[in-house]
Structure 1
Amino acid sequence: MSARHLTEFHGLPVFDFPSASAAETLPEPGGVAWRLRYDWDDESEQFEQIWQRFLGAVRTEDVRALVVGAWEEEMFEDTLGPVLQRVVDARDRFPALRAFFLADVESEENEISWIQQVDLAPLLTAYPQLAELGARGGHRVFTPVDHGALRSLRLESGGLAREVVRGITGSKLPALESLELWLGVEEYGGDTTVADLAPLLDGGAFPALRHLGLQDSELQDEIAAAVATAPVVPSLTSLSLSMGVLTDAGAESLLGGQSLTHLDRLDLHHHFLSDAMMQRLRDTLEPAGVELDLSDRSTPSEWGGEQHRYVAVSE
């Protein structure tokens, strides 16, 4: 499994801003999420030219959602900073902007762990009305920020640094309803521990939180055990512990902990559960009306005489 291009964002269909040579009618500015990305068929146009052409061709005052895709041919260096800075500097051109996603890149373009993400706090400071923020790549820093409007934060990573988690939990985000963190693996910088998640699991960090995703982790069993008694859970309506190396031990913790029958949805897809454990989860949760995702059951790989489990997205 790998990260895929967005097809919808902020409730809007994603529309690729066409290349300079394309004779394409543009949609209404507020009716789509605009994706700006490097075109390998037109290597003469770099992101700066694409950005300036977009500012000139689209009534940016009405743009509600913006997505940055591949920003250049070679995306292996620390080059996202100038891209984000252009968006920050253009804050006055986008008074209606409510959603932003940085680095909507597939593995064929660049591996997720090779994307050197940047601090997203300056964007939040520049756009105090932003409601949804997402980014993909190797997240290493997130400066704590006060932001009264952000409702959804999604960080996709093959290895999320603990400093990012600490920066998020140290932020004041009173409107935050949905938080998804792909924690990844240590090999690619994912050094977040269950202890680092404690301020989030304690329930005091974000009072409006209704959806929590702690996903794609090689510590998924330990996270499940912590979630089983976490004070944040009763206020949630959906929970995702998907994409990681969840085994029967982690699921046993969930079943033996606090009730999860109040949830609308529990997402455990990409897991390593036995048939018997999957049935126990169904028997416990589905009669209560919980939508349970147990898809993509995975099988451990074997080498060196040992079994090895893997997260859904790492490199």
Structure 2
Amino acid sequence: MSNVQHLQELYGLPAFDFPHPGEQRELPEAGTVAWRPASDPYGDSSEDFGALWDRFLDTVDPAAVRAIIVGSWGEAYENDSGCVVERLVDARDRLTALRAVFIGDLEMEEAEISWIEQSDVTPVLDAYPLLAEFGIRGGTGLRFPAVKHQHLRTLRFQAGGLPGEVVRGVAASELPALEHLDMWLGVEGYGGDATVSDLAPILAGGHFPALRHLGLRNSEIQDEIAAAVAAAPVVAQLTSLDLSLGVLTDAGATALLDGQPLTHLTRLDLHHNFVTEPVAQRVRAALEPSGVEVDLSEPGDSWENDGVVHRFTAVAE
């Protein structure tokens, strides 16, 4: 679960860990931080997530809370996030200023990303029609049937394997305000069975008219995605494109060079890649003179066995 750490901020607000029972800490004003309630199943306290959540709502001013980062809800590799979704939905009349939610902010020591058991998270969007940011970590058991939401601007999925069903649900959703879409597609071995055809409605452009940033990342089919993006109409409306963390090789980078112009972008992120230096230099030479910030850092390590070259995404298990 490399490259995955606790969030430091959400909705432009610094993350603040809600104290455990008995922990004496001065609390900030409710609307000035992104609150992170997290249950520790191995700590000294026997407080479960339900009790933690109730204590959180009774301690802070829920009507002023703007952002919530949900950490561990117990043994997240055995119990899915349904308990989190249910409590968020039930608190909708109290959390009236809530504008950002992230579910599953766990590091490797708490649970590998592929161990995090998620659920159908869309009831949160239904319960909070003014929500602007929504993020999920973990793809196991995750469901995202198509939704309609008028105000969501940022949608993020971090997974070692994002189910194709989720990608199709996003692609079929009506999100007219969506500006930032970031999906870690992952590998098939951990449930990442999305295909380029699943992305087609997004790549066709116009479906999300406000979209300015597109991240299709951490994929073992990164070359195929790059080739599709190279001819995708959606690129014309973007200001930044992120194809990082995956198994991008010279083939994918060359497809980008040979495709539609990318000089209108402000940033192209290809970090963690398997692109050779000569091709990397071609990418920089084609884009940087036009002011595009190109990130080709962190070349990945590959190894060969019996004539087969093995390359890996940045995040899988």
- The answer to whether TM tops 0.5 is yes
How many Å apart are 1:9 and its aligned residue?
1.0
1:2 and 1:106 in contact (8 A); partners too: no
Indicate the RMSD between aligned Cα atoms, in angstroms: 1.1
Equivalence for 2:269: 267
Name the aligned partner's letter for residue 236 of structure 2. P
* Partner secondary structure for residue 284 of structure 1: helix
How many Å apart are 1:290 and its aligned residue?
0.6
Matches within 5 A, 1:25-36: 25-36=26-37
Answering whether residue 100 of structure 2 is matched by residue 99 of structure 1, we say: yes
How many Å apart are 1:57 and its aligned residue?
0.5
| Residue number among 202, 209, 212 corresponding to 1:210 in the alignment | 212
Write the distance in 2 (CA, Å) between the matches of 1:75 and 1:180. Answer: 23
What's the CA shift string for 1:6-27, capped at 9, x where partnerless? 0111101000001121111100
Equivalence for 2:249: 247
Segments of 5+ residues of structure 2 without an aligned counterpart are none
Write the distance in 1 (CA, Å) between the matches of 2:236 and 2:3. Answer: 31
How many Å apart are 1:141 and its aligned residue?
1.9
Name the aligned partner's letter for residue 86 of structure 2. Q
Following TM superposition, where does structure 1 have runs of at least 4 consecutive aligned residues deviating by more than 2 angstroms? 39-43, 301-306
Write the distance in 2 (CA, Å) between the matches of 1:77 and 1:166. Answer: 26
Matches within 5 A, 1:229-308: 229-308=231-310
* Partner secondary structure for residue 24 of structure 1: coil
Write the distance in 2 (CA, Å) between the matches of 1:300 and 1:149. Answer: 42
Equivalence for 1:17: 18
* Partner secondary structure for residue 189 of structure 2: helix
* Partner secondary structure for residue 118 of structure 2: coil
Q: More deviation in 113-122 or 137-146?
A: 137-146
Name the aligned partner's letter for residue 50 of structure 2. E
| Residue number among 165, 186, 192 corresponding to 1:163 in the alignment | 165
How many Å apart are 1:305 and its aligned residue?
4.1
Name the aligned partner's letter for residue 262 of structure 1. H
Name the aligned partner's letter for residue 25 of structure 1. E
How many Å apart are 1:231 and its aligned residue?
0.3
Taking structure 1 as the reference length, what is the TM-score of the superposition?
A: 0.97
What's the CA shift string for 1:101-157, capped at 9, x where partnerless? 000001111011111211121100000000000010015421111100000000011
The aligned length equals 314
Equivalence for 2:54: 52
Matches within 5 A, 1:77-156: 77-139=78-140, 140-156=142-158
1:2 and 1:107 in contact (8 A); partners too: no
How many Å apart are 1:44 and its aligned residue?
1.4
* Partner secondary structure for residue 266 of structure 1: strand
How many Å apart are 1:49 and its aligned residue?
1.4
Write the distance in 2 (CA, Å) between the matches of 1:70 and 1:78. Answer: 10
2:81 and 2:118 in contact (8 A); partners too: yes
2:80 and 2:116 in contact (8 A); partners too: no
User: Quick one: percent identity of the two aligned structures?
Assistant: 59
